Amino acid sequence: MRPQDVVVLLKVLLLEGTSWQSKDLAHALFLSPTEISFSLKRSRYARLLDGQGRHVARQTFLGFLLYGLPVVFATQPGAQARGLPTAHSAAPLNQQVVAEQYYVWPDAQSDTRGSAVDPLYARVPDHLGRVLLEPL
């Protein structure tokens, strides 16, 4: 697995029940069509996608997100920085989790201050609004 595979799987989850093509994922996620193709193949191999590459194995993926992701893509909070809120510091978790420490993806344009953490892959913070939530 590569870090962007998690984002690709999240996008596929959001698109279930709709018609999409790999090139649409590539455009929406700011990845090349080749990266999308390899990502879908890795996810099928890991049994996180069905054989067609259209449906996420929800229970398996949830288990990976909860238990595998923190180990495979571990990160350590860094110095205080301005950035985009992430983890429990971002909506909607910030309404449910009370914490003294904020975590941010470094971004000089943002106003939120917190401990800097690296995103799964570099382009996620730049296009966060489009990456996961917007339709294709």
By CB neighbour count within 10 A (0-12 exposed, 13-18 middle, 19+ buried), where does 36 fall? buried
In this structure, the answer to whether residues 99 and 113 fall within a common structural domain is yes
Measured N-to-C along each axis, helices 33-45 and 22-29 cross at an angle, to the nearest 10 degrees, of: 110
Question: What's this model's pTM, rounded to 2 decimal places?
Answer: 0.78
Token readout for 53 is 């590459």
Nearest to 86, CA basis, from 74, 78, 94, 97? 94
**pLDDT confidence bin for 98, thresholds 50/70/90:** confident
Is 39's pLDDT higher than 90?
Answer: yes
Is 32's pLDDT higher than 50?
Answer: yes
Is 130's pLDDT higher than 90?
Answer: no
In this structure, the answer to whether residues 61 and 99 fall within a common structural domain is no
Is 90's pLDDT higher than 90?
Answer: no
Task: List the domain range (segments joined by +) for residue 96.
Answer: 80-117
Whole-number pLDDT of residue 131: 47
Domain count, the chain: 2
Mean pLDDT score, 8-16: 91
In this structure, the answer to whether residues 99 and 40 fall within a common structural domain is no
In this structure, the answer to whether residues 50 and 98 fall within a common structural domain is no
